[in-house]
Structure 1
Amino acid sequence: MNAHLSTLIIRIAGGDTAFAKLIGLDPSKPGVQQRVHNWKSRGIPSAVVLENYQAITALKNQVTPST
C-alpha cells in the first residue's frame, strides 16, 4: 500500500496507537508505535494488510468512498 494512503488510513483510525490496537499490536511494547509510524512513510506492508483485510478495507473506504 502506498505511503499516502497508509498515512490517511492510520489517521482515520485515530493515529499510530489506535491503529496498532486495531490490528492487534500492543502499543505499549517497545518499537510498536515506531513501526506503525514508519508505515506512514513506507506504506503498510502487504502482509499486514492481508492479515487485517476487513479492518483496513473499512478504513480505506472511509478515505476513498466508492461511488
Structure 2
Amino acid sequence: METQPWNNLPLEWRRPGLADITLAGTAWYLLHTQPQVHELIAATVATVILRCVRFTKPTGSNR
C-alpha cells in the first residue's frame, strides 16, 4: 500500500490491495444479504475492513 499523508492532519490515505478489496466486498455481500442488517451498517463495515483511511500521529507531535 502506498501512503499519502495530508498536511499535518492525523489521517493518511492508503490505496487498498486486491486482498483488502476482496475481503471488504465479501463482507459487504454477506451482510447485505442478511435481512436484519441495515445497508448503512453493511457499507460501514466494508469501509472499515477496506483499511484505506488510517489515523496517525501528526508529524512533529510529541503526543
**TM-score, length-normalised on structure 1?**
0.28
Greater gyration radius = 2
**TM-score, length-normalised on structure 2?**
0.29
Higher strand proportion, which one?
2
